[in-house]
Chain A
Amino acid sequence: MASPSPSERRLQKELSSLMKDPPPGVSVDANAVYQHLNLWNVHMKGADGTLYQGEDFQLQFRFSSKYPFDSPEVTFVGDNIPIHPHVYSNGHICLSILTDDWSPALSVQSVCLSIISMLSSCKEKASTLSIEKH
């Protein structure tokens, strides 16, 4: 409100649109985000009919001041890190749109959708990637 920076303005827009129209199973603690616009905690429920049904996850988004020209850092945090071939045990996610394929037209919402679909398409709970390899 107090003349926010371009990245803050965009994050505010995203926050209100995410709250108005969140992807299924996704919610965000708006009050916490209002205060630290560059650090979001997003709750994600394992989608019904997938291996992760009934599980709760926490995603952390960290935005630089160059957002959306820089991609956000997105990791799973908290007690329950999903067991998935593309998720390291420390919560790191291997997803191309978070690195090389980032585009400023992407958003928190679209990243969440990508992660949900990544989890949903998993047929076997196994972590094939090791931290060392990374």
Chain B
Amino acid sequence: MSLKPKEMNFSDTWGDLQKTVHGVITLSNIPRYVWQDRFADVYQLCVAYPESLADKLYIETKNFLDNHVKGLLEHLSTLSHDNIIYNYYECWRRYNKGIIYLHELYSYLNNQHIRKNKLSEAELIYGNHPIDDLEQMEIGELGLEIWKKNMIEPLQGSLVSAILECINQDRNNNGHLINAEVVRGVIESFVAVNKFKKRNNIELYRTLLEKPLVAASGEYFRSQADIWFQNCTITQYMERVIKLFEEESVRCQRFLHSSSHAIMKQCCEKYMVEDYLCALYNEAKSIISQERQQDMANMYILLRSVSKNLIPYMTEFKDHIIEEGLQRLNEIKGDNMCMSFVEIIMSIYRKYKEMIEKIFQSDKNFTSALDKACISIVNYSPDNKSYKSSELLAKYCDQLLKKSSKGLSEMEVDEKLTDAIIIFKYLDDKDMFQKFYSRMLAKRLIHQNSQSMDAEESMIDKLKTACGYEFTNKLHRMFTDMKISEDLTEKFNSQYLPDKRVVLSLNFHVHILQAGSWPLGQTNITSFTIPQEFTQSMQAFEKFYNCQYNGRRLTWMYHLSQGELKLCYLNKVHLITMQTFQMAILLLFENTLTMTCSEIVNTLQLNWDQFLKNCVTLVECKILLANTKELENDTVLSLNEKYYNKRTRLRITASLQKETPMETTQTITSVEEDRKLFIQATIVRIMKSRKLLKHNALIQEILSQCITFNPSISMIKKCIETLIEKQYMERARNSRDEYSYIA
């Protein structure tokens, strides 16, 4: 075949070509050589000499296809109307396939003639060219365009109503439509005829099918919802709606273009959920309060796609958790309040966390509702004044870290401490907890009451992670002192004493604490004349210590010291660990059988409160006998010669080492003092940089900077007043609610 342009006889060539075109479009068998010849003919016509016959070829082809499709339409109208979509679909399937082949046959015309004269995509999208009907289309597009005009347009009414009918049948038959493939094919043809279009190519599908379908479906959903709602319980209603959602979703997949899925879903939700929101919310309370899990899950499914619809539901959920939490906390009784406190909160936390995973598909919104609920529960305080939660949580940690007979494994202790951290994160008064914790830690360390140093340090690491190093810094200092003290004791006993050839009358240990690093409090400091039995060791140690360190003075904290006293006057020897004051009291009986309280107090120079506390314990555990019920000045005390305990070694210090209510008050006061100072410093810092600030803006800034506690507004106001008095700031002259920094 020569590619050289030559003169062509159009009507002869077209005559042959036309037959082949007909064959192609009707999917007849075309021999290969015929195909190749006609392919060449298209080429030759396009490049014909002296002028191209391409336009002529285009017009003839267009006319041919036009007539062909008209013929098909006529043929269809002779067939039964009942089968219209089936017949249409058959025609379309063949025609669509034929057109694809025809497009191939006209490749040269498409590529060299038509495409070159076409507007570029950019021109179409950004330019302002009117879509020109007369513009030539590639043959594939032309064929589809003609189909659209000559077939779809005349038939659209019947086709669409037939499709809607089919979809309706599908709904009524639980998705068992016989001719699903046909329906899908017809719907696809609405999209396919525009497949060459660069934009708006689903427009036809939209207006022709989607709109009426959504309208009809909406009507269907509305009436279904109405019927179900009238006749069903809420449980059934939700189940049916969810089932319908699922079915409709499958139906969309089966029949519709993907762009319609979301629209159909919205349509479902509008008529079956949005229109019934009030009714659903009304039921939410009882569903949640009865914890009907399946209903809860179903309601979540119904509400979740519009996040604002979830809000009242989440609030209901949150309120339910709070209600349960507070109710259970109110029922706490007994000695072990701190354990119950943590256990209750953790059981609620775990229960609802699991529920969120299971029922609410780990929805973050619900997790934050749980967090909010936990914050309310943990920080609930009926009188807004006591810092019970901080104290209980610290006590809980104390109990776990203390030596005890509970027999928890290290793992169990660690898990329980991890629970404490979960609650700690919800705690508003973190500073208060910190203070309680550090005081209890100090006592554990000083009284050698810690179960394990590893556990202590692991808890401090956890706190550090949760709240930063500032707090744990001081705690670490306490550990360092303990370590140093151990070394000092060792050095004193195994080097210093042998070197000096001193033998002590007792086994001597020390804890040397750096004043200021330990939250010891001042309440228990008392005068005290230490019995001479102790002084030898103390003086020897002080000498040793002064050799070790320059310029330091030791102050003995007798109320924190304890020792083991051997009772030799009984049938059986007892070794009893007790407080120093108690040892001192018992030592007085060495040379006498009886003593009055006031004699003891005078000899030891002990204040009455301290004496009373220590002595009461000795009386209560029956080491001493008293001749009055209450200890008075002239109560006569004597050694109980018949004292017996089945254990040889025991300690009677526990009650004395407990946190007293007075210490608790002291702790609270000192934290409140710290808070005031912190707020004042914060205000000054803010005002220094802002110079002029509205009251509310100042309050907001302060609140945002208080991380370890939630200051009350009244406390902030008091701090502002203080600073105005101190003339750090003043009320702005022109504005009532504004402050200015004095500079």
Decide if A and B touch, CB cutoff 8 A.
Answer: yes
Instruction: Spell out A's residues near B (CB within 8 Å).
Output: 1-3, 31, 34-35
B727 CB contact (under 8 Å) in A1, A3, A31 = A31
Is B685's CB within 8 Å of the partner chain A? yes
Q: How far is the CB of B741 from chain A (nearest CB, A)?
A: 9
Q: Is A2 a contact of B684 with CB atoms below 8 Å?
A: yes
The 15 listed contacts between A and B (C-beta, < 8 Å) are A1-B680, A1-B681, A1-B684, A1-B728, A2-B681, A2-B684, A2-B688, A3-B681, A31-B727, A31-B742, A34-B727, A34-B728, A34-B742, A35-B742, A35-B743
For the complex, what is the distance from the CA of A1 to the CA of B684, rounded to whole Å? Answer: 7
For the complex, what is the distance from the CA of A35 to the CA of B727, rounded to whole Å? Answer: 9
Q: How far is the CB of A38 from chain B (nearest CB, A)?
A: 13
Using CB atoms, name the residue of chain A closest to B680.
A1
Enumerate the 6 nearest inter-chain pairs by beta-carbon distance, A residue then B residue, closest first. A2-B685, A1-B684, A2-B684, A1-B681, A35-B743, A2-B681
Instruction: Spell out B's residues near A (CB within 8 Å).
Output: 680-681, 684-685, 688, 727-728, 742-743
For the complex, what is the distance from the CA of A114 to the CA of B83, rounded to whole Å? Answer: 120
Residues of B within 8 A of A34 (CB): 727-728, 742
For the complex, what is the distance from the CA of A102 to the CA of B71, rounded to whole Å? Answer: 117
Residues of A within 8 A of B727 (CB): 31, 34
Residues of A within 8 A of B684 (CB): 1-2
Q: How far is the CB of B470 from chain A (nearest CB, A)?
A: 13
Residues of A within 8 A of B743 (CB): 35
For the complex, what is the distance from the CA of A1 to the CA of B683, rounded to whole Å? Answer: 10
Residues of B within 8 A of A3 (CB): 681
Residues of A within 8 A of B728 (CB): 1, 34
Q: How far is the CB of B137 from chain A (nearest CB, A)?
A: 77
Q: How far is the CB of A88 from chain B (nearest CB, A)?
A: 32
Residues of B within 8 A of A1 (CB): 680-681, 684, 728
Q: How far is the CB of A2 from chain B (nearest CB, A)?
A: 4
> 9 new A-B pairs (CB below 8 Å) besides A3-B681, A31-B742?
A1-B680, A1-B681, A1-B684, A1-B728, A2-B685, A2-B688, A31-B727, A34-B728, A35-B743
For the complex, what is the distance from the CA of A9 to the CA of B680, rounded to whole Å? Answer: 17
Using CB atoms, name the residue of chain A closest to B686.
A2
For the complex, what is the distance from the CA of A31 to the CA of B685, rounded to whole Å? Answer: 18
Q: How far is the CB of B202 from chain A (nearest CB, A)?
A: 64
Residues of A within 8 A of B681 (CB): 1-3
Using CB atoms, name the residue of chain A closest to B677.
A1
Using CB atoms, name the residue of chain B closest to A35.
B743
Q: How far is the CB of B727 from chain A (nearest CB, A)?
A: 5
Residues of A within 8 A of B680 (CB): 1
Residues of B within 8 A of A35 (CB): 742-743
Q: How far is the CB of B679 from chain A (nearest CB, A)?
A: 11
Q: How far is the CB of B554 from chain A (nearest CB, A)?
A: 28
Q: How far is the CB of B43 from chain A (nearest CB, A)?
A: 88
Residues of A within 8 A of B688 (CB): 2
Residues of B within 8 A of A2 (CB): 681, 684-685, 688
**Which of A1, A31, A34, A35 counts the most B-chain CB atoms under 10 A from its CB?**
A1
Q: How far is the CB of B546 from chain A (nearest CB, A)?
A: 27
Q: How far is the CB of A67 from chain B (nearest CB, A)?
A: 20
Using CB atoms, name the residue of chain B closest to A30.
B727
Q: How far is the CB of B138 from chain A (nearest CB, A)?
A: 77
